[in-house]
Copies of this chain bind each other. A is one copy, B any other.
């Protein structure tokens, strides 16, 4: 599972290289959380800073720092790449 530099990167490696970027995290319950991805682990547990909760296009709530449990994640959209 090691990757030489010319290979495409594994999904979890991509997440690790996207720390401090803005992300949108869609959960299985259809809610979406947008914020800066402070950190993430191999289970996709992640810390969002300056997080906002969206129900579709509508912001529902603001959070400072939130830890999302990875098993609820549907997908993570990386808004800005390095």
Contact = CB atoms under 8 A, between A and B. Distances in A.
A58 B15 CA distance: 29
This chain: copies in complex: 7
A30 to B, nearest CB: 8
The bracket for how many chain A residues form the interface is 35 or more
Nearest to A44: B69
Interface string A56-68: 0000000111111
A6 to B, nearest CB: 12
Interface in A68-82: 68-79, 81
A46 B12 CA distance: 9
A69 B70 contact: yes
A44 B39 CA distance: 16
